[in-house]
A and B are shown apart, each in its own frame.
Chain A
Amino acid sequence: MRSPLARFVGSAVVMLALIGLWQLGANAGVISPVFFPGPDRSFGTLWDQLHDAEFWHAFSETLRRMVLGFVSASIVGVAAGAAIGLSANVRAYVEPTLELIRPLPASAVIPVFVLMIGLNERMIIAVIAFASLWPVLLGTVHGFKTIEPRLIEVSRMLHLTRMELIFKIALPNAMPDIFAGLRLALTVSLILAVVTEMLSGMPGLGHNIIMAARSFRSADLYAGIIVLGAIGYLTNVTLERVERHVLRWRNDPSSAA
C-alpha cells in the first residue's frame, strides 16, 4: 500500500463496495424507498437528466448566479481589502466594524435583501455577492497588513513608488491570504445560490431538489445532491489549480525566501 496508485485503487475498491452496500440496503428495503433509492435509480435518474434540456437550464442558471456573485465579490473584496489593509489609519476606523459583521450568518441577510429588492433575480445575485464579499475582504485585509516591515524598508531603499510597492511587494505577499478568502467565498457562493433558489422558486438546482423532496421524487433528489457535490468539487479544484499557478513562485526552490 505504499505506492499512490495502490492507494488510489484500494480506496476506489472501498468506494465501490460502499455503493454496493447502498444497493443491497436499498434492495432489501430495510429503509423505505420513499427517501432511500438505490444507486441504480439515483444514477439512472442522473443519466436521464444529462440528456434533458431542462436540467441543463437549471444547472447553468445555478452556475451563472454563483459565478456572477463570486466574481463581483472577489473584485470588490480585493480592491477594498487592499485599500483598508494598506493603511493603518483606515484600519483603526473600519476594522472593529468588520469584526462585528464577520460572524453574521450570510443566509440571515436574505430577508433584508428580499424586503429591499424583492424576490427576484437581482436579489439572488446581490445576496450571493454580499455573502461572498466578507471572506475575500477579511482575507485581503489580513494579507496586506502583515507585510514584513523589512520589505517596506527595502522598497524605500529602492525608491519604489506607492503603486510599485503595492503591485511588486504587497500584492504577492497577500496572495496566499487572498486565496484562502476566495476558497471560503466559493463555498459560500454555492451555498447561497442553492438557498436563495429554494426560497425564491427561481429555476435552478436548489429549486429542483426542494421540489423533488416535496413531491417525494427521491431519485431526482439524490441526483440533484450528487450534481451539487460535483459542482462543489469541480469549482474547488479549478480554484486550486489557479492558486497553484499564481503562487508557483513560492515553491520554486531557486527563489526560496
Chain B
Amino acid sequence: MPRALKGALLPIGLMLLWELCARSGFIVAESMSNPTAIAHAAWATVLDGSLLKATRETFGAALAGMALGASLGIVCGIAFGLWRLLAALMRLSTEALRPIPSVALIPLALLIYGYGFRMEIAVVAFASFWPLLIITENAVRGIEPRLIEVSRALGFGVVDRVIKIVLPAALPRVFVGLRLAAAVSLVVAVTVEITANPIGLGYALIVAQESMKPDRMFVFLIWIGFLGWLVNAVLLRAQQRWFGRMGNWAEHGR
C-alpha cells in the first residue's frame, strides 16, 4: 500500500465511523453533529461571508501583534547579544517577566483597552516577544567573533555593524524564530477571542457552541487547525527556499 494511502486511512476511517455513529443515533447529534452536516455548514459560512470576515479579523490582530512583539524582540535580542553586560544586568528582570502566561494578561489588556483589536494585539505582542528575544540573542552571540572584529577594523558605527554584519549573519535563525512566533501568535489570538474578545474565529467558535450549532462549531475548529498548518507549511517552505542548508542548520544546529 502506498504511503499516502496509509496515512489517509485513519482520518477517513474516523470520519466514516463518526458519520455512522451519528446516523445510527449512537452519539447525540445535538452535541457532536456529523461530517455531512459539517460540510453543509462549511458551505454556508463561506456563502454568508462569516468565515472570511472572522478569518480577516483573527489574522489582522495576530499579524499586527506579532509585528509589534517580534520587532521589539529582535531589537532587544540584538542589543542583549552585542552587549553582554546589558544582558547580564537585565537577566533577573526578563526572567521574572517571561514565565507569566500570556493568557494571564488578557484581563489586564481588557481593563486597559476594552474589547476590540487593541487588547488582542497587546496580548499577542507579549507572547511573540519572548521567542524572538531569546533566539535573536543566541543568534547574535553565535556570530563569528572575527566578523565583528572586521567591522571594528573597518571603522563601522553601531548602526552599520548591525545592518551590514549582525543582521545578515543572524537572519536564518531569526527567521526560525519568526516561524515559531507566527504559530504562537495565531494560537494566542484565537485564545484571546475565545476567552474575552468578541471578534474573529475564536469568538465565532464560542457563538456556535453557545447557540448549540455543533456543525458550525466544527467548521471553525477545522478551519483554525487548517490555517495553523498552512501558515507553518508556507513559512517552512520559505525558510528552505531562502536559507537552504543555512536554515536547516539554524533549526537544529548550534
Determine if chain A interacts with chain B. yes
Smallest CB–CB gap between B17 and chain A, Å?
13
What are the residues of chain B within 8 A of A233 when measuring CB–CB? 95-96, 99
Q: Any chain B CB within 8 A of the CB of A23?
A: no
What are the residues of chain B within 8 A of A7 when measuring CB–CB? 88-89, 91
On whether the beta carbons of A11 and B221 are closer than 8 Å, the reply is no
On whether the beta carbons of A12 and B96 are closer than 8 Å, the reply is no
What are the residues of chain A within 8 A of B103 when measuring CB–CB? 191, 194-195, 198, 206
Q: Any chain B CB within 8 A of the CB of A152?
A: no
Given contact pairs A114-B209, A213-B108, a sample of 5 additional A-B residue pairs in the complex whose CB atoms are under 8 Å apart: A96-B10, A101-B225, A108-B224, A112-B221, A229-B99
With most chain B CB atoms within 10 A of its CB, the pick from A12, A190, A191, A214 is: A191
Majority SS of interface residues in chain B?
Answer: helix
Smallest CB–CB gap between A92 and chain B, Å?
5
Q: If A108-B190, A212-B107 touch, does A94 touch B10 (CB 8 Å cutoff)?
A: yes
Q: Which residues of B contact A (CB under 8 A)?
A: 3, 6-11, 31-32, 85, 88-93, 95-97, 99-108, 110-112, 183, 186-187, 190-191, 194-196, 202, 205-206, 208-209, 212, 214, 217-218, 220-221, 224-225, 228-229, 231-232
Q: Any chain B CB within 8 A of the CB of A111?
A: yes
Majority SS of interface residues in chain A?
Answer: helix
Residues A125-156 near B (CB distance < 8 A) = none
What are the residues of chain A within 8 A of B8 when measuring CB–CB? 96
What are the residues of chain B within 8 A of A10 when measuring CB–CB? 88-89
On whether the beta carbons of B85 and A105 are closer than 8 Å, the reply is no
Smallest CB–CB gap between B181 and chain A, Å?
14
On whether the beta carbons of B191 and A111 are closer than 8 Å, the reply is no
Kindly report which residue of chain A lies nearest to residue B213, judged by CB atoms.
A115
Q: Any chain B CB within 8 A of the CB of A255?
A: no
On whether the beta carbons of A12 and B209 are closer than 8 Å, the reply is no
Q: If A14-B89, A108-B190, A116-B32 touch, does A97 touch B10 (CB 8 Å cutoff)?
A: yes
On whether the beta carbons of B229 and A103 are closer than 8 Å, the reply is yes
Q: If A108-B190, A108-B224, A195-B194 touch, does A92 touch B205 (CB 8 Å cutoff)?
A: no
On whether the beta carbons of A11 and B32 are closer than 8 Å, the reply is no
Kindly report which residue of chain B lies nearest to residue A8, judged by CB atoms.
B92
On whether the beta carbons of A97 and B11 are closer than 8 Å, the reply is yes
Smallest CB–CB gap between B171 and chain A, Å?
24
On whether the beta carbons of A103 and B7 are closer than 8 Å, the reply is no
Q: Any chain B CB within 8 A of the CB of A104?
A: yes
CA of A1 to CA of B212, assembled, Å? 62
Smallest CB–CB gap between B207 and chain A, Å?
9
On whether the beta carbons of B206 and A111 are closer than 8 Å, the reply is yes
What are the residues of chain A within 8 A of B225 when measuring CB–CB? 100-101, 103-105, 108
Smallest CB–CB gap between B85 and chain A, Å?
6
CA of A100 to CA of B7, assembled, Å? 11
A96 CB contact (under 8 Å) in B7, B95, B104, B183: B7
Smallest CB–CB gap between A180 and chain B, Å?
13
Q: Count residues of A near B (Cβ-Cβ below 8 Å).
A: 59
Smallest CB–CB gap between A69 and chain B, Å?
14
On whether the beta carbons of A93 and B9 are closer than 8 Å, the reply is yes
What are the residues of chain B within 8 A of A14 when measuring CB–CB? 89-90, 92-93
Residues A194-245 near B (CB distance < 8 A) = 194-195, 198-199, 206, 209-210, 212-214, 216, 218, 221-222, 224-225, 228-230, 232-233, 236
On whether the beta carbons of B111 and A216 are closer than 8 Å, the reply is yes
Smallest CB–CB gap between A184 and chain B, Å?
12
CA of A11 to CA of B96, assembled, Å? 11
On whether the beta carbons of B209 and A115 are closer than 8 Å, the reply is yes
On whether the beta carbons of B191 and A107 are closer than 8 Å, the reply is yes
On whether the beta carbons of A11 and B88 are closer than 8 Å, the reply is yes
CA of A153 to CA of B191, assembled, Å? 47
B31 CB contact (under 8 Å) in A12, A105, A115: A115
